[in-house]
Amino acid sequence: MKKLNPKGLKVLKTLHLIFAMIWTCGAIAMVLITFLTDTKSADELYMKNIILLAIDNWLIITGAMTSLAIGIIYGIFTNWRFFKHRWIIVKWIITVVEILFGTFAYHPWLTENLDIIGRLGEAALENEDYLFNLKMMEISGFFQAGLLLFLIVISVFKPWKPKKNNDKN
């Protein structure tokens, strides 16, 4: 398979950095909004969750899916390939797990909470389902943001490389 030339590789790397940054900043923003905002009414509670949903839909999903697509392009059209280094394998595993978890756990908790707030208003704060979803969102959101920061660290330091590595990538 034909590999990208140096200019193409720089464009790909730039795009990867931009979309990874969008994903990571979105996750950090969601954690900050979750923990640092104090809602005083049902309208404020609903708006807080609408903002979280907007960040999830526009920053998290866009950043995650584009980063995944760019990772696939990296694997096909560069010397990095998919499983050349252990740190790349770790990135793949974390990326896929984060996307699946966000799709099948975090996003449904968030949308269910919006529904509960819409039906119950401020009484949602006493609803068991709402409180469970909120606790899971707090714990998992913090953990997911941390994992994204970890991905940045391993992308920079490239740990677990074999001692004899002839590639200078």
pLDDT in tens, 12-38: 999 999 999 999 999 999 999 999 999
pLDDT at 163: 56
What's the pLDDT band for 166 if we cut at 50, 70, 90?
low
Instruction: List helix spans (H) across the chain.
Output: 6-36, 42-55, 61-77, 86-101, 107-120, 128-157
- 6-36 and 42-55 helices cross at what angle (nearest 10)? 170
Q: What average pLDDT does this structure show over 82-101?
A: 95
Report residue 6 as tokens: 């140096």
* Structure confidence at residue 169 (pLDDT): 52
Q: What is the mean pLDDT of residues 76-94?
A: 91
Residue whose structure tokens are 């995650």: 64
Contacts of 16 (CB under 8 A, 6+ apart): 67, 70, 71, 74
User: Comparing 162 with 136, which gets the higher pLDDT?
Assistant: 136
Query: For 19, how many CA atoms within 13 A lie in the half-sphere containing its CB?
Result: 18
The structure tokens listed for 138 are 């707090």
